Amino acid sequence: MSVSIREIAKMAGVSRGTVDRALNDRPGINPELKARILNIARDVDYRSNKAGRMLGLRKKPLCFGIQMPSQGNDFFIDVRRGISAAMQELADFGLSSKILTMKGFSVEKQLSQIRQLLDEGIHGLIFVPIDHPKITALLDELQEKQIPVITFNNDIEHGCRLSYVGNDYIASGQIAAGLIGLLSAGSPLKTLIMTGSVQVLGHNQRISGFHDVIKSDYPQVDIVDVLECQDDDQVARERISRALEQRPDVQALYITAGGVAGACEAIRVRGCAGKIKVVSFDLTDRTKAFLKEGLITATIEQEPYQQGYRPVKLLFDYFLDGTKPPQRCLTHNRILIREHVMNLDTIGADVPKEQ
Amino acid sequence: MSVSIREIAKMAGVSRGTVDRALNDRPGINPELKARILNIARDVDYRSNKAGRMLGLRKKPLCFGIQMPSQGNDFFIDVRRGISAAMQELADFGLSSKILTMKGFSVEKQLSQIRQLLDEGIHGLIFVPIDHPKITALLDELQEKQIPVITFNNDIEHGCRLSYVGNDYIASGQIAAGLIGLLSAGSPLKTLIMTGSVQVLGHNQRISGFHDVIKSDYPQVDIVDVLECQDDDQVARERISRALEQRPDVQALYITAGGVAGACEAIRVRGCAGKIKVVSFDLTDRTKAFLKEGLITATIEQEPYQQGYRPVKLLFDYFLDGTKPPQRCLTHNRILIREHVMNLDTIGADVPKEQ
DNA sequence: CTGAAAGCGCTTACAG
DNA sequence: CTGAAAGCGCTTACAG
């Protein structure tokens, strides 16, 4: 509980309005006076009180725009839970949001949806960027317009945003390799990789992180092939089925992205359930069922709830305080095994579920 | 953004003070009038605004008492980080705290420290209870005095508290069993258990959860013995050393509590590093080093930061809103392997570390 | 360029 | 039992 604006006004012998102008870089104040006030504020280590600002916010309520490729993608169910929770928590402080979603990754769609949000009037933007020059250009434009941006789930290589909340794809690939290594128990293990698309940076990073660790620490693991399934279950089913036919010696499958259900079904049909070790990512309802069944050995989850919750909170705090979040807020790579999902209780205190 | 108290006052044709008396069960109001006001509030779905209440709080600032056995226990380092973060976040709303800590588990010490906190004047209590009738009795007394309590890290069987934040010890034992089962790769695995104390409920639950899963799902795993080390590294070193001498066929060690460093040193001295699979709990600096070395195969962490952060937040919200938290807020059982700790980045977005 | 007033929603003494 | 006023810290029009 530090000093209030009122006390600084008293010390400087001016009105509270003038102190406010000095502290918040508002126009219309004598530069010398401003400097004097800022000095006093620094001396007494003034920090604006959140409760006061929060109440004041209701006069000019904030609105955030959110854009994401969540349609038809179960991963985003928990993301949306996180967003809703944060919005509910902050609704009392006047925060509202406009959410636009799309199916799949289309640069044009993303651009037009963000334009729409801007037209409708938003103070900040939260979205899952596609790594494309047009999006980078848009980010530059937003910076000009003083609209802060937080990316989540996927980051953008070049382009300025306040922060990124999400997975470190290289690290998650490394952890997958560590798991496969442990599961090998020191014996040779022929491993197949199924990836979503070689065009997607994150998928490739999950392969390169995996590859590096296998090469340096688990030489007994032999990567026999890398298949692509375009995140499509049907394609995954066919490719995996064919691969197992051609290579009956495959003992492990590492899936970097989508197509998990298709791959698992192919394994089951060939009678290999439980014989082939499967490591996947994320935890959809289908993945959960395969874990219970013992078909998937382990899955690595990336805290989707937090990926929705945190960006909203961070952006709000930025408006309230000017608090700058870290450049990257990495979510934890949660290894989940059968016993995690057999027991509903073990969800984690940060992920409230409906009771 | 719902209606304000002012609007309800207008609808009821009374003053705001009267509405306040009705809504907050304050004395001195005509019962009929109160009922009428409450009806209106229900009709318009009135919810008090947090920002308003938060600002009002500064007149009668809240103070929480915190008591825990953190002295000389590295597990509590992250717990304290979580507490500090929550306190800093809420300082603007007038919250302060008094923290008393002890070394080990003494019922008398715990009682006297809590008495001291009560004497100094606290509005709510957060602590790690010892499961003992005297503590249960104290909880009853606190309920009489209307002082809400949140337990964390350890719960108390009988006794009323607002909520518990911490591990589900049975579930964590089950997950440890799942890990050992996977590491066995289907072959027989002679496994030794080292526990802290057979007097401690949590330690026993970690054994029984482990036992149940092994029995039903991994019959190839053979539990050869259960040793006790009193959470003491010296004792652990000796017991494990002797056990390995007598039973050179041991292939895995499951450690339910403390003494991890002692046990690991014994394994290293006997030249069994990497040959014996070790599963432990929590992540101290020493555990981290053994994971990097490859001596510990996996450790199960229980979100210590959240165990400090959440209770403070939940108790504050309770005072602000009357929001009742769930009976139990379980923290996630995080399986950590070597690759998690090789890379500092993968900490998790909910655990801000100093950069 | 500066000040005085009103307001955000809720609570709390103080009058009546 | 009820009301009118003042205040929590900050912001924002409106005067001057």
Contact A302, A144 (CB under 8 A): no
Among A205-214, A346-355, B60-69, B103-112, the range scoring the smallest mean pLDDT is A346-355
Q: Looking at residue A105, what is its pLDDT?
A: 84
Cβ-nearest to A345 among B57, B168, B298: B168
- Over range B86-96, report the average pLDDT: 93
Instruction: Calculate how close chain A gets to B275, using CA atoms only, in Å.
Output: 10
| pLDDT tens readout for residues A116-136 | 999 999 999 999 999 899 999
Q: B280 to chain A, minimum CA–CA distance in Å?
A: 15
Q: What was the pLDDT predicted at B159?
A: 76
- Write the pLDDT tens digit of every residue in B162-202: 999 999 999 999 999 999 999 998 899 999 999 998 888 89
Window 55-84 of B, Cβ < 8 Å to A: 55, 57-58, 61
Instruction: Name residue, tokens 């209870």.
Output: B129
Q: What is the pLDDT of residue B353?
A: 42
CB contact under 8 A, A93 and B171: no
Q: pLDDT tens digits, residue range A200-251?
A: 889 999 999 999 999 999 999 999 999 999 999 999 999 999 999 999 999 9
Interchain CB contact of A343 with B (< 8 Å): yes
pLDDT on residue B253? 97
Average pLDDT score over residue span B228-234: 92
- Average confidence (pLDDT) over A291-303: 96
Residue pair B330/A348 in contact by the 8 Å Cβ criterion: yes
pLDDT value for B72: 86
The answer to whether the CB of A85 falls within 8 A of the CB of A306 is: no
Note whether B295 contacts A: Cβ–Cβ < 8 A.
no
Tell me which residue of B82, B65, B80 sits closest to B119, measured CA to CA.
Answer: B65
Question: Mean pLDDT across the stretch A41-59?
Answer: 89
Number of Cβ within 10 Å of residue B91's Cβ equals: 17
Residues of B in contact with A49 (CB under 8 A): 92
The pLDDT score that the predictor gives to residue B178 is 97
Rounded distance, CA A255 to CA A286, Å?
Answer: 14
Q: Is the pLDDT of residue A59 over 90?
A: no
Which residues, 6+ apart, have CB-to-CB distance to B169 below 8 Å? B201, B202, B203, B205, B206, B209
- The 10 Å Cβ neighbour count of residue B219 is 10
Q: Which helix (H) or strand (E) holds B286?
A: helix B285-293
Nucleotide nearest to A24 (CA to C1'): D11
Q: Please, are residues B262 and B242 in contact by the beta-carbon 8 Å criterion? A: no
Gap from A14 CA to D16 C1', Å? 16
What's the one-letter identity of residue A228? Answer: E
Q: Which of A210, A204, A200, A276 is nearest to A241 (CA)?
A: A276
- pLDDT at position B158: 79
Contact between B172 and B162 (Cβ < 8 Å): no
Q: Which nucleotides on strand C sit less than 7 A from a protein beta carbon? A: 1-13
Interface residue B178 vs chain A (CB under 8 A): yes
Ramachandran angles phi, psi of B43, nearest 5°? -60, -40
> What's the mean pLDDT in B196-209?
92
**Count helices and strands in chain B by DSSP H and E runs:** 14, 12
The nucleotide minimizing the C1' distance to residue B8's CA is C9
Does residue B61 lie within 7 Å of nucleic acid chain C, judged by its CB?
no
Q: pLDDT, tens digit, for every residue of A317-353?
A: 999 988 899 999 999 999 999 999 987 544 444 554 4
Instruction: Suggest the residue from B45, B58, B92 to mutate for an interface test with chain A (most A CBs closer than 10 A).
Output: B92
CA A283 to CA A290: how far, in whole Å?
10
DSSP A296: S
A113–chain B nearest CA distance, Å? 26
Three-class SS of B56-68: HHCCCCCEEEEEE
Distance from CA(B320) to C1'(C9), angstroms, rounded: 13
A90 to chain B: closest CA residue: B50
By C-alpha distance, the chain A residue nearest B55 is A51
Q: What is the pLDDT of residues B241-296, one digit of tens each?
A: 999 999 999 999 999 999 999 999 999 999 988 899 999 999 999 999 999 999 99
pLDDT confidence of residue A1 = 60
What confidence score (pLDDT) does residue A351 get? 53
CB contact under 8 A, A183 and B182: yes
The integer distance in angstroms from the CA atom of B1 to the C1' atom of D3 is 27
Residue of B nearest to A47 (CA): B92
CB contact, 8 Å: B332 with chain A? yes
Q: Enumerate the residues of chain B whose CB falls inside 8 A of the CB of residue A174.
A: 339, 342-343
Instruction: Give pTM, 2 decimals.
Output: 0.92
The token pair at A138 is 């848009």
Q: Scanning every residue of chain B, which has its alpha carbon at the shortest distance from the alpha carbon of A327?
A: B355
Task: Determine, for residues A52 and B50 on separate chains, whether the beta-carbon distance falls below 8 Å.
Answer: no
Q: Buried b vs exposed e over A158-179: b needs ≥16 C-beta within 10 Å?
A: ebebbbbbbbbbbbbbbbbbbb
Which pLDDT band holds residue B2 (cuts at 50, 70, 90)? Answer: confident
pLDDT tens readout for residues A137-185 = 999 999 999 999 999 999 988 779 999 999 999 999 999 999 999 999 8
Question: Residues A345, A351, A352, A353: what is their CA dihedral angle, to the nearest 10 degrees?
Answer: -70
User: Which pLDDT score, from 0 to 100, does residue A72 have?
Assistant: 86
Reported as half-sphere exposure (CB side, CA atoms, 13 A), residue A267 has a value of 28
What's the CATH superfamily of A169-301? Response regulator (3.40.50.2300)
Distance, in Å, from the CA atom of A279 to the CA atom of A193, rounded to the nearest integer, reads 10
Q: Is the pLDDT of residue B348 over 60?
A: no
Task: Tell me if B126 sits within 8 A of B149, measured CB to CB.
Answer: yes
Level-2 CATH architecture, domain B60-167+304-331: 3-Layer(aba) Sandwich (3.40)
Task: Determine contact: B165 vs chain A, CB below 8 A.
Answer: yes
